């Protein structure tokens, strides 16, 4: 037996020992990223739709319920967007509602949202 044959066998064994698990790991990461991207796209499509303007118009506005003075209404972002539910305006980037909205009668009496 030549000296290089055991070296080749050893290197092939090491390559198999490390290449196969590494390759499977890379394949799993690739597949999971594609799956996550698909789920993200589906979630974007199925987000709860915001109530339309006709549905919102049937319910009292928070500034009416709280009897806000005109100067406070002028500075209120919800008052500036009357076609959007007030709690949607105050929703944070992470999707959380303000504590004031959770305790508000307008939020509690609003209809349940529909899936888009």
- Give the model confidence (pLDDT) of 32-44 as tens digits: 999 999 998 887 7
**pLDDT per residue over 54-81, tens digit each?**
666 677 788 888 888 888 888 888 888 8
Looking at per-residue pLDDT, the higher value among 72 and 85 belongs to 72
Nearest to 109 by CA among 92, 93, 90, 86: 86
Output the pLDDT for position 8: 92
Q: What is the pLDDT, as a whole number, of residue 25?
A: 96
Distance of CA 67 to the CA centre of its chain: 33
pTM above 0.75, yes or no: no
Closest by alpha carbon to 102, among 114, 115, 90, 84? 90
């Amino acid at each position: 037996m030549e000296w290089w044959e055991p070296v080749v066998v050893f290197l092939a064994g090491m390559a198999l020992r490390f290449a196969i698990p590494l390759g499977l790991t890379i394949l799993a990461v690739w597949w999971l990223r594609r799956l996550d991207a698909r789920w993200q796209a589906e979630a974007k499509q199925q987000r709860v739709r915001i109530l339309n303007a006709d549905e919102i118009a049937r319910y009292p506005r928070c500034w009416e319920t709280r009897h806000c003075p005109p100067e406070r209404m002028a500075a209120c972002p919800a008052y500036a967007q009357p076609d959007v539910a007030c709690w949607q305006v105050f929703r944070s980037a992470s999707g959380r509602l303000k504590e004031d909205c959770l305790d508000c009668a307008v939020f509690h009496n609003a209809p349940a949202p529909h899936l888009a």
